[in-house]
């Protein structure tokens, strides 16, 4: 009765040939995540001083370094040419999609989000 949902970006769209000789469209979906900030481990009695200084250090780091994002592979989908042709609004590279995996309906839905 659960549902898993995440947003992803179409990272690549490739035409490949399967081992049986049929043409497939391979869609790779990636999720963008922000890089975590710096982690500082304090030792001894400097803990109080570190608590006071860390918000300032974090603010300076955010102003110097733009928010770095990393991409993480989330889903690779293979469609036959007929399946690909049956899609009315085909996703393009760089478009954001919403992926939902529903346990109770035993299915996956991929919805293209409007820009």
27: burial class by Cβ within 10 Å (0-12, 13-18, 19+)? Answer: buried
Q: In terms of DSSP H, where are the helices of 14-68?
A: 47-64
Q: Model confidence at 20, in pLDDT bands (50, 70, 90)?
A: very high
In CATH, what number does 3-112 get? Answer: 2.40.50
Each domain of the chain, given as residue ranges in start order, spans 3-112
| Model pTM score | 0.69
**Residue 71: C-alpha distances to residues 10, 65, 85, 99 (Å):** 11, 18, 28, 16
Two tokens, residue 43: 């030792």
**21-64: per-residue pLDDT in tens?**
999 999 999 998 877 666 656 566 667 777 788 788 777 777 77
């Amino acid at each position: 009765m659960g549902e898993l949902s995440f947003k992803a970006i179409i990272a690549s769209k490739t035409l490949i040939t399967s081992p049986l000789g049929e043409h497939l469209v391979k869609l790779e979906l990636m999720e963008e995540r922000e890089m975590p900030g710096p982690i500082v481990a304090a030792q001894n009695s400097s803990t109080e001083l570190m608590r006071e200084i860390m918000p300032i250090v974090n603010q300076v780091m955010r102003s110097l370094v733009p928010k770095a994002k990393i991409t993480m592979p989330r889903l690779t989908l293979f469609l036959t040419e007929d399946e690909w042709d049956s899609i009315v609004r085909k996703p393009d590279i760089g478009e954001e999609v919403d992926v939902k995996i529903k346990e109770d309906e035993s299915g996956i839905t991929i919805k293209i989000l409007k820009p």
